[in-house]
Chain A
Amino acid sequence: MRESRILRGLDLFRGAFEKAGVDYPIMRSILQVKLTMDGRRVPTIIAGSAKRQASESNQPEGNAFLRSLWVYGLMGLILVMFMMMPSNYIFQMSLVFGILMFLVMTSMISDFSSVLLDIRDKTILYTKPVNRKTLSMAKLIHILIYMFFVTGALAGPSLLVGLVKYGVGFFLIYLADIILMDILIVVLTAALYLVVLKFFDGERLKDVINYVQIGLSIGITVGYQLISRLFNYVNFEAQFHPKWWQFIVFPVWFAGPFELLLRGDSRSYFVVFTLLALLVPILLLFVYIKMMPAFERNLQKLSDQSVRSRKAGGKVTDMLAKWFSRTREEQIFFRFAVKMMSTERDFKLRVYPTLGFSIIFPFIFFFTFTPEGGTQAIPSSKMYLFIYFCALLIPTVVMTLRYSGKYKGAWIYKTAPISNTAPIFKGTLKAFLARLVLPMFLVDSIIFIAVFGVRILPDLVDVLLMLPLYTLISFMIFRKALPFSEAFETTQQKEAMLTIPLMGLLGVFAGAHYYSTTIPYGVYIYMALLVVLNVVGWRWVFQKSLK
């Protein structure tokens, strides 16, 4: 275990911790262990023999988490753009904080929930003679360290540009704001879990967290749209007229201090924003520390085993399996995959938020690219082609199909008398289309028909036919691995990069579609072409590449 520099930094505050009743050396050990574990995303199954492990652990350890930070840094460059804009703090900084909060919160929920909700802590730490305060503090600090890095990477570039362009005052306010925002995010996330934990238990609770995560991801995206609307309607030179709802949009608060302190604009609402930005996070932090034991107590529910027999059901699945699959083996795996996709916790956690985004993606672009004729011109335009964006994340999910939290169960594939793996893949891909893609597409289609009218029906059929083809191509591109047979930890960055050309391919599909609308009956020709490609493709791929 390497002594981390972070901990040495923390040592400076030793006195303060001890004054607060924290057993500092113990907390330090806990943090060291936690940080070591974060850094080791071991590909457990390919890790191999104990011998190899031994030599591996003697090597200097790079921290996988730290190495992934550059991605956040890249995203942080977007914020630099806003710094370059003509300075109108309230709009500029509302936007910056809108984006920051969105990115930090989603990263917090998607990557760090497992830390916040690690139930192993209970058995390992709570049985030891360590006081609760130390344990709570260790958890809090652990989260804050994580936040420090993520926000550091995200906000770093814009902080620097801000310093150069607007000076030290701006830099300091921005920095203070970011710290307050981080606190707010930690508390809000914990509060969210606490509320959910309070009212539900066991399995249902994990479901609920799942759905909240999805809902939240979508909600924040929509909120972000609100800010950019606010940005669109009013030009930069115009005056800012506060609306009541802006008082409940956090990012606007954090923009307040810039107006108040840098521009000396002491109009009452800027004062109120500033006070909200300062006081709410601090107040909530105290509430959070007070509520921590309650949080831990409710966390216990996560490990409770409640045996709840679900209704047998499955009739719809049976029906779908018969519709989509011809052979018996393929139907078996179709049903199996449907069940796994709808019940496997880790899988849902990774995939469902992605699907949530897929549903709203097509609409985001309406805001961004309003046609020349304004919003009235949308229904008669060709903007319905934006529905292609709903397929943007198909490659990512297809790649995820091979992962499972219970990947060890995959021995069943090997011991069962299955001669050919083709039905396994085929059934799973079809299940993915039927269970996840189709419902998502239907939701989008209904809204699109409402906006554009039934005239786009043939076009939607085209898109519908494109989906299986696109799924198939994605499947071909990635390494073939049996569905649900690998640990999520083995996810490889390199392979994830393959999704980028696949997204480009989606553009080709959309482009072809656009072109087909410019020639008579083009849409139908495109349709026929897709049918042929699907039939040939699905047959060819499963005959050729798999034995």
Chain B
Amino acid sequence: MGNYRSTRPDTPQGAAATPVIRIRDLRMKYADRYVLNGVDLEVSRGQIIGYIGPNGAGKSTTVKIMLGLVEGYTGQVEILGTDIASGDISYKSKIGYVPEIAEIYDTLTAREYLTFVGELYGLDREAADIKAARLAELFGLRDAYNSRISSFSKGMKQKVMIISSVLHNPDILFLDEPLSGLDANSVIVLKEMMSLFAGQGKTIFYSSHIMDVVEKISSRIILLGEGRILADGTFDELKERSEEGSLEQIFNQLTGFNEHRQIAEAFVAAVQEA
């Protein structure tokens, strides 16, 4: 397996380019609970951000706010220099999104769906079709291209989602658990693709629960907990801070979780009880 750190481009820290994403004091309240409690964040071109945190930490909410799916937040969110609250939605044509749950019009064929999404992104119908077909072929979906998505396996659906997120050659990619359902080989391909994209200057905002993957491919890791950023930096920086070996351990430590052994033992014991 390739060494991802070597193929990863250096973060253009020196280049004082305008940040691709700029979030200031982002707060979001659902009913009576704050899901986001003041998030500040700046992301530059070419970064692969591993956005991690326990369930309910506010990861999906942050992403959904940036995509304009969730309204009613306070604070400021700028994407590619546009304040997303300004009503100017043209920034969305520079974004690709793979949602966590494969929400998809699955009575359509892969061709119909992908062409449609291409059109929504402003592509010409034929151009979208040709491009989608090529990407599908590269992803091993050639035979299934004209089949209805409802007949697809989870991994095939995920591939359709991934293709639909890059058809329009976006500058920013939001990937929410993009590896789910993919087989081992496709995972390698996708990881390789992500570092190549980043090399071209695309920004990848990536959230996952699988720490090994995040540890290997992210150029920057942001750990979210209870609606706040608990840690932010490269993997090495995080390691220094917490004196732990793996991201998983750092994660446990920073989120204050150290009962895994006890829980596991209690669980196994309960299974054996009559």
- Chain A positions within 8 Å of B, measured between CB atoms, are 1, 25-26, 29-30, 33, 36-37, 40, 42, 44, 47-51, 53-54, 56-58, 119-120, 122-131, 201, 297, 300, 304, 306
Bound complex: CA of A304 vs CA of B31, how far in Å?
A: 11
- Chain B positions within 8 Å of A, measured between CB atoms, are 30-31, 67-71, 89-93, 95, 97, 99, 103-105, 107-109, 112, 116-117, 119-122, 125, 143-144, 146-148, 150-152
Q: Is the CB of A300 within 8 A of B146?
A: no
- Given contacts A29-B116, A33-B116, whether A124 and B103 have CB atoms under 8 Å apart is yes
Contacts of A42 in B (CB 8 A): 107, 148, 150
Q: Is the CB of B95 within 8 A of A36?
A: no
10 CB contacts below 8 A, A to B, read A26-B119, A33-B105, A44-B150, A50-B143, A51-B147, A54-B146, A127-B68, A128-B93, A128-B117, A129-B90
- Given contacts A26-B120, A50-B147, A53-B148, whether A127 and B69 have CB atoms under 8 Å apart is yes
Q: Is the CB of B31 within 8 A of A47?
A: no
Contacts of A304 in B (CB 8 A): 30
Bound complex: CA of A133 vs CA of B68, how far in Å?
A: 15
From A36, A56, A58, A127, give the contact of B97 (CB < 8 A): A127
Q: Is the CB of B108 within 8 A of A47?
A: no
Q: Is the CB of B92 within 8 A of A129?
A: yes
Q: Is the CB of A128 within 8 A of B92?
A: yes
Interface centre among A48, A49, A300, A306 (most CB of B within 10 A): A300
Q: Is the CB of B104 within 8 A of A120?
A: yes
From A33, A47, A119, give the contact of B151 (CB < 8 A): A47
From A33, A58, A123, A125, give the contact of B146 (CB < 8 A): A58
Bound complex: CA of A7 vs CA of B16, how far in Å?
A: 50
- Write the nearest CB–CB distance from B146 to chain A, whole angstroms: 5
Per DSSP, chain A at the interface is helix
Contacts of A128 in B (CB 8 A): 92-93, 117, 120-121
Contacts of A37 in B (CB 8 A): 105, 107-108
Contacts of B68 in A (CB 8 A): 126-127
Contacts of A29 in B (CB 8 A): 116, 119-120, 125
Contacts of B97 in A (CB 8 A): 123, 127
From B69, B103, B108, B143, give the contact of A33 (CB < 8 A): B108
- Given contacts A42-B150, A123-B99, A129-B92, whether A300 and B120 have CB atoms under 8 Å apart is no
Q: Is the CB of A130 within 8 A of B103?
A: no
Contacts of A49 in B (CB 8 A): 151
Contacts of A57 in B (CB 8 A): 109, 146-148
Q: Is the CB of B69 within 8 A of A201?
A: no
Bound complex: CA of A33 vs CA of B118, how far in Å?
A: 13
Q: Is the CB of A300 within 8 A of B150?
A: no
- Write the nearest CB–CB distance from A21 to chain B, whole angstroms: 12
Q: Is the CB of A127 within 8 A of B151?
A: no
Bound complex: CA of A44 vs CA of B89, how far in Å?
A: 36
Q: Is the CB of B146 within 8 A of A129?
A: no
Bound complex: CA of A131 vs CA of B87, how far in Å?
A: 9
Bound complex: CA of A36 vs CA of B70, how far in Å?
A: 28
Bound complex: CA of A131 vs CA of B86, how far in Å?
A: 13
- Write the nearest CB–CB distance from A310 to chain B, whole angstroms: 18
Q: Is the CB of A120 within 8 A of B143?
A: no
Bound complex: CA of A304 vs CA of B61, how far in Å?
A: 11
Contacts of B69 in A (CB 8 A): 122-123, 126-127, 300
| Nearest B residue to A122, CB-CB | B69
Contacts of A58 in B (CB 8 A): 146
Bound complex: CA of A29 vs CA of B123, how far in Å?
A: 12
Q: Is the CB of B95 within 8 A of A124?
A: no
- Write the nearest CB–CB distance from A124 to chain B, whole angstroms: 6
Interface centre among B68, B92, B116, B122 (most CB of A within 10 A): B116
- Write the nearest CB–CB distance from B225 to chain A, whole angstroms: 19
Contacts of B89 in A (CB 8 A): 129-131
